Structure 1
Amino acid sequence: MNDPARDLTGWTIAFDLDGTLVETAPDLIGTLNRMLAARDIPQMPVEAAQHLVGHGALALLRHGFQEAGAPWRESEAQALLEEFLADYIEHIADFSRPYDGVIATLERLAARGAILCVATNKRTDLSVALIEALDMTHHFAVICGPDLVSARKPDGAHIREAVSMSGGDPARAIMVGDGAPDVQAAKSAGVPSVVVSFGYTPIPAKDLGGDVLVDHFDQVEAAIDGLIAEVRARRSI
């Protein structure tokens, strides 16, 4: 007999990390600003640089330097990236915190039988370090950065492979994210998406094309329930 309290059994919820589960901009931009200061370049306010977050460390560094007016040479990119990562890992959870409602929502979804995983464009070792520092590791079956999959978001392979690695079925998955790569990857993977409005995106969240838009993480569970109900209704026709 099915346990009605575990009505999400068989479903996998994949979450983006930066700007979705955790507010990471203060520490990421903090590292960028320390690098800029070391080169006598004016620092960037966190609010003005949040749109740089979510596309990976190298993209953040490249565009951050360019927007701050710092010289950028691709021939020096690897050395600058290594400098960035060395500093960031030392400050990875100085100010980064899960958004309000995240922990309670993850606990409720897991209690209802859902598999939870992370599908992020943040490198896996950095993602694991951050999630461990915030004591969130036990919530997730897999923490999957772009180095663990055949293609990163916005490619749907990132979601499909992360879900499969979690022991889930990519045909019964939902993506929760804050940016265009999340929505595009979900569409490519053929899964519904929930978009949070409080994350890091240069495009207004309402214009990203996700299936449901929420303004607080407390609304994510209800959004997931609605999407699953729609999927079940379509498949019963």
Structure 2
Amino acid sequence: MRTVIFDLDGTLADTSGDLIAAANTCFRALDLGDLLDPVADAATALRGGRAMLRLGFSRVDGFGEADVDAQYPAILAAYAADIDTHTVLYPGAMDAVEALKSDGYAVGIATNKPEGLAETLLQSLGVRSAFGSLIGADTLPVRKPDPEHHFEAVRRAGGDPRRSLLVGDTATDRDTSRNAGVPSVLVTFGPGGGDVAALAPEATLQDYADLPRIVAELIG
């Protein structure tokens, strides 16, 4: 079966506000105040907890990688406690998912967010049942950009890895598709969207209404 695998953060949903809030919770606990800005640092937020901690600690003296490691469990806990206050699905995302399913495609998710957090967020947003698979950062021994992360998401959705593509928003997603030998579609409306064309994906996506047509052109 032809299959479309989606990234989550920055692709299906803008999760940056809640991620930044979780990081700032950690920084405030260390009496450092809010070190990250929800708008200016949104792109870093979508690269994960460690990236946010590194950026914040780079703005003050006396903190380094050991502090990133020490605070990583705390940022996960803060995020889990308040995961959906600011998060929103991108306009038309779920309409496109349902259109693809109606056209006979399997759909799934491959994210570098821990699986439990991804599951909680998707359930909270009311869309988990729309996807045939969910592979998180800790589901397998490997994670994106390892191609097995993509392949397993395809298999668990009931699809054929040879007839699949990846919809994402970052260089990690592009590298995953290259490593897997499948096309990628990168969205332009996320925080890093202005730079995705330079990654040379097979297609870029400005509006989810166009996704079914693009998918049909790329994998039939």
TM-score of the aligned structures, taking structure 2 as reference length: 0.92
Contact 2:146-2:179 at 8 Å conserved across structures: yes
Contact 1:179-1:199 at 8 Å conserved across structures: no
Does residue 83 of structure 2 align to residue 83 of structure 1? no
SS at match of 1:199: coil
Residues 158 and 71 of structure 1: CA distance in aligned 2, closer, same or farther (over 3 Å): farther
Residues 103 and 74 of structure 1: CA distance in aligned 2, closer, same or farther (over 3 Å): same
User: How much does 1:155 deviate?
Assistant: 1.9
Matched residues in 2 for 1:212 and 1:41: separation? 41
Residues 84 and 173 of structure 1: CA distance in aligned 2, closer, same or farther (over 3 Å): same
SS at match of 2:86: coil
User: How much does 1:64 deviate?
Assistant: 3.4
Contact 2:5-2:154 at 8 Å conserved across structures: yes
Matched residues in 1 for 2:107 and 2:212: separation? 12
Does residue 75 of structure 2 align to residue 53 of structure 1? no
| Per-residue Cα deviation, 1:141-199 (whole angstroms, up to 9, x for no partner) | 11111212242112222111221222211101010000000011001101111110012
- Among candidates 43, 62, 72, match of residue 54 of structure 2: 62
The residue number in structure 2 matching 1:166 is 157
Structure number with greater Rg is 1
SS at match of 1:163: helix
The amino acid of 2:200's aligned partner reads G
Does residue 113 of structure 2 align to residue 122 of structure 1? yes
Matched residues in 2 for 1:143 and 1:72: separation? 35
Does residue 19 of structure 2 align to residue 28 of structure 1? yes
Q: How many pairs does the alignment contain?
A: 219
Larger mean CA deviation between 87-96 and 148-157 belongs to 148-157
SS at match of 1:175: strand
User: How much does 1:70 deviate?
Assistant: 6.0
SS at match of 2:9: coil
Does residue 145 of structure 2 align to residue 154 of structure 1? yes
SS at match of 2:51: helix
Matched residues in 1 for 2:175 and 2:32: separation? 38
- Among candidates 223, 226, 230, match of residue 217 of structure 2: 226
SS at match of 2:41: helix
- Among candidates 159, 182, 195, match of residue 186 of structure 2: 195
Residues 111 and 13 of structure 1: CA distance in aligned 2, closer, same or farther (over 3 Å): same
Identity score, percent = 33
The amino acid of 2:49's aligned partner reads A
Matched residues in 2 for 1:106 and 1:71: separation? 46
Contact 1:53-1:200 at 8 Å conserved across structures: no
> Where do residues 91-110 of structure 1 align in structure 2 (5 Å cutoff)?
91-110=82-101
| Per-residue Cα deviation, 1:23-64 (whole angstroms, up to 9, x for no partner) | 100100111122223323343221211121333322332233
User: How much does 1:83 deviate?
Assistant: 1.1
The residue number in structure 1 matching 2:196 is 205
The residue number in structure 2 matching 1:233 is none
Matched residues in 1 for 2:7 and 2:209: separation? 16
Residues 180 and 88 of structure 1: CA distance in aligned 2, closer, same or farther (over 3 Å): same
The amino acid of 2:72's aligned partner reads L
Does residue 145 of structure 2 align to residue 140 of structure 1? no
CA RMSD of aligned residues (A): 1.8
- Among candidates 205, 213, 217, match of residue 208 of structure 2: 217
